[in-house]
Amino acid sequence: MKKVIYFVLIAASLLSISVCANAAVMTEEQQNELVNMGIITGDPNGDLRLNDTITRAEAIKMICAAGNIDTSIIETNAFPDVQENHWAYSYIAAAKAIGLVAGNENGNFNPESNVTNEEIVKMLVCLLGYEPMAYGLGGYPAGYTAVAAKIGLTKGMHFSVNSPAIRNDVGILIHNALNISIMKAKTTTNGSDPIEYVIMDGANGIPNMTLRNRFIKYDSSHNNISKLSQEFASQYLYKEGDTEKSFALYPDIIYTSGIEKTADGKEYECPAIYDDLMVQELVNGINKDTAKLLINGMEPVYRVSYAVFKEKMLVPLYVFNLAGCNVRFDETRYVATISKNSTVLEILPNLIGMRKNQAEGFWIPLAVCARFIDHTLYVPLEAVASEFGIAVSWDSAANTITLQP
Cβ proximity of 337 and 344 under 8 Å: yes
Q: How far is residue 314's CA from residue 311's CA, in Å, rounded to a whole number?
A: 10
Span 191-209, pLDDT tens digits: 445 578 899 998 888 888 8
pLDDT at 399: 96
CB-based contacts of 249, cutoff 8 Å, min separation 6? 364
In terms of DSSP bridges, do strands 400-404 and 288-295 run parallel, antiparallel, or are they unpaired?
Answer: parallel
In terms of DSSP bridges, do strands 376-380 and 257-261 run parallel, antiparallel, or are they unpaired?
Answer: unpaired
User: What domains, with CATH codes, occur in the chain?
Assistant: 4-54+114-185 (no CATH), 219-405 (3.30.457.10)
Span 249-262, pLDDT tens digits: 666 655 556 667 77
Angle of helix 56-66 relative to helix 167-178, nearest 10 degrees, comes to: 20
pLDDT at 113: 96
Positive or negative torsion for Cα 13, 14, 15, 18: positive
Q: What angle do CA 29, 35, 38 make, to 5 degrees?
A: 145
pLDDT at 210: 94
Q: How far is residue 365's CA from residue 333's CA, in Å, rounded to a whole number?
A: 20
Mean pLDDT by 10 residues, the chain (405 residues): 40 41 80 94 88 96 93 91 93 90 91 96 96 93 94 88 92 96 72 72 88 79 74 74 66 60 72 47 69 92 91 94 91 88 90 79 79 88 96 96 96
